[in-house]
Amino acid sequence: MPCTLVFAKICLQFSMDITKFKESKVKSADGTAISYLTVGKGPGLVIIHGSLRSAADYKPLAASLADRFTVHLIDRRGRNNSGPQGDQYSFETEVQDVSAVLEYTGSKYLFGHSFGGTVALEVALQYSLAGLAVYEPAISVDNSISVRTLPDIRNALAQENYKEAFVKVMKTVSDGAIPDEQLPEFAEAVAKYPIWPELCKLLPSTLEEIRVVHEANNTYAKYGTIPIAPLFLYGGSSPDHLVSQTGLLASLIAGSQVVKIEGARHSGPAKDAFEKISQELKSWFVYPDT
């Protein structure tokens, strides 16, 4: 068989292998099962999704990284085949979950998006990493994330009024980026997309996530003790408060790099900007074989 044909077949087989996701589970410190999807070949990279997201949303990003890394997409508590958030849910339980995956897979690289970015920073305070990157971590500055809407969200969910629950969640986390009077129209538009049924399933998980971010209000200075310099990414079309918060966090850690992803919004890693973000991660996560 000609060498060129053999090489082509090898390349095709490799391409098929690195884009085939495998589901695995590991037990966290409290015994909760944490499910994750794995794809690719190379050093281990764990990706932590944001609120109203799950591992599956980051498959395009993982596939674009699979030629350089073995990528593990965590399904955080309350999603798919992972266990429930539980009565003791906190940032610490999230840290234990991620640490369990890092340890079991031998991964040393970590990327987190939004709420997952905050979890990644929390992990970096306790776990030794070779590389860290985050995209617009979620923090509360001067009570910017409030718990006042939580009873209304619970009531709307109890009545299966998911559009109203979505409106209240967005009101809580958007910090005015979407005017209140436009939120019902925004919810109506989102409800027409195929992703809406999945969003409805994920809405209950936001209650506890909002609570823990609120309880961590103005504690972000602690991230200044992270021993590794992170890459901070933000979208060129993201809301101003997320851009400024990303810069604020980066200013706390010596050696941090801040990169603007042109045209990206807050949803960038899970949607339209995954290719640009993949390139930034490949450049940032340098390892000996590079």
CATH number of the structural domain spanning residue 129: 3.40.50.1820
* pLDDT at 132 exceeding the cut of 80: yes
Same domain, 66 and 121: yes
32 and 87 assigned to the same domain: yes
Residue 7's pLDDT is what? 37
**194 lies in which domain range?**
150-211
Look at residue 29 in the predicted model and tell me its pLDDT. 97
pLDDT digits (tens, 9 = 90+) for 266-283: 999 998 899 999 999 999
Asked if residue 200 is part of any domain, the answer here is yes
What pLDDT score does 160 carry?
Answer: 97
Give domain status of residue 12, yes or no. no
Q: What is the pLDDT of residue 145?
A: 95
Looking at residue 174, its pLDDT comes to 86
pLDDT surpassing 60 at residue 5: no
Average pLDDT over residues 14-41: 86
Pairing of strands 231-235, 257-261: parallel
pLDDT tens, 135-181?
A: 999 999 999 999 999 999 999 999 999 999 999 999 999 887 889 99
Say which range, 119-123, 212-216, 284-288, has the weakest mean pLDDT: 284-288
Residue 140 near residue 214 (C-beta atoms within 8 A): yes
Please give the Cα distance from 277 to 189 (Å, whole number).
27
Specify whether 259 is located in the same domain as 221: yes
- As a whole-number percent, the residues of the chain with pLDDT over 90 amount to 88
Domain assignment present for 144 = no
Q: What is the mean pLDDT of residues 175-195?
A: 92
Q: What is the dihedral of CA 24, 287, 225, 29, to 10 degrees?
A: 20
pLDDT digits (tens, 9 = 90+) for 256-269: 999 999 999 999 99
Question: Based on C-alpha coordinates, what's the Rg of the chain?
Answer: 19
pLDDT at residue 118 is higher than 70 = yes
Say whether both 156 and 243 belong to one domain: no
Pick from 171, 186, 211: which residue ends a domain? 211
Torsional sign, CA 233, 239, 240, 245 = negative
73 with 186, same domain?
no
pLDDT of residue 178: 87
Number of domains in the chain: 2
Reported as a single tens digit per residue, the pLDDT across 237-255 is 999 999 999 999 999 999 9
Whether residue 2 lies inside any domain: the answer is no
Ramachandran angles phi, psi of 151, nearest 5°: -60, -40
Domain match, 175 and 239 both: no
Average pLDDT over residues 13-31: 78
Q: What is the pLDDT of residue 125?
A: 98
Q: What's the pLDDT band for 287 if we cut at 50, 70, 90?
A: low
Whether pLDDT at 234 is above 90: yes
Average pLDDT over residues 96-111: 98
Residue 5 lies in a domain: no
pTM of the complete model: 0.92
Asked if the model's pLDDT at residue 9 lies above 70, the reply is no
State the pLDDT confidence band at 2, using cuts at 50, 70 and 90: very low
- Residue 94 to residue 100: CA distance in whole angstroms: 10
Residue 165 lies inside a defined structural domain of this protein: yes
Rounded CA separation 44/108 (Å): 6
What value does the mean pLDDT of the chain take?
92
Q: Does residue 4 form part of some domain? A: no
In a domain, 8, yes or no: no
Residues 235, 155, single domain; the answer is no
